[in-house]
Structure 1
């Protein structure tokens, strides 16, 4: 009599989700329990790790991009975790630093922020920008903002202070047990303090094993073009990128 295969084992090859873990008596297998503890520790470390600003500054310099270091009103990592509202606002010194530049209106403000996984930005922001920048060659850019202890909504205030038409923030996403270093992107047309989340478009799960840089960059470039053309973003900007991609591919055949 042939041994029956477990159909869950085949499904396990297609996902990082914790399925088909197996049992030893009434408990998880030792390997699975240790893996869970490791992944939990990585997720905790991701939340508490500080952003490597010199690494980002050097990488942006290599890309021939000007940068500006900014700080939210959350003065420490602990303060940032306990007071989400403070991570959505710039401190006064940062506001004044932008005003002192006295720059003309720009098409785009691009912001890098630690969010809930500074390591995600350290790993993904620079290689992603390498893919993205050639696709934005027709647009004027404000200096790239590197924001310490920032949350998504801080992009509104930064974009408004730079008088940019569009704010794009690359931010570390909340770490999960299978993806502690995932980067997200939020795009907002007409950024200004007080905007709410329905005004944003999101591209999520940019990481190894998630969304590839090339695809995410193409998608962001498409949404940027559409947002500036239609003068809107968020729920009113329909994400037709995949349909657009399919049409382009079928046109080549």
Structure 2
């Protein structure tokens, strides 16, 4: 089946970071299925090269770009290439992120802190600002935050802080850019079946703690469906909010043992 040439994203140009697997790859696939051309950014090229080939078979343009989200020159080069190849940009999804190994706050060193803040917050800020320059008459930025934006977790201070700050970044950029026709929204996934959250899933299973009130783990395509809606014209009156997609996790946040 090819891309939908009359789909809600037909003719749009999107960049998805962290697109090699999991949520990022699922978002890229959904965008392509709905007619968008997609640039895929990741630190290694093998997986995104294969994904670009897969998406190209749908009839859209797919561009794989190696980019290190911790390197400023790499980020600059990424945006320069996307702008050159696509002639502009309509959608940016800041999906790349890191979940550091759990450590108590006093056990963190500068490298731990800088790595989490740099990848989870500084890179999305920079990419969003450069994307706005490519958006012309308007576009949409999506920031992938986390339910960890809303409550503290033992051992994850840098992650909690970086993701909480991303929610505020979303709000500030939405406020500043609304008059320019650029919407900025966020999503806050809970427990999704990806490699990133496997340590957390093992932790909850070991202690017999339900992952959420729905008692199931989410799928990456469910996050992709939400993001595809938020970047479409159907969500044209939505900006500045971060939408949880968590099976009700936030309803019980802070009530689990150890928190």
User: Given the two structures, how large is their TM-score scaled by the length of structure 1?
Assistant: 0.37
Higher radius of gyration, 1 or 2: 1
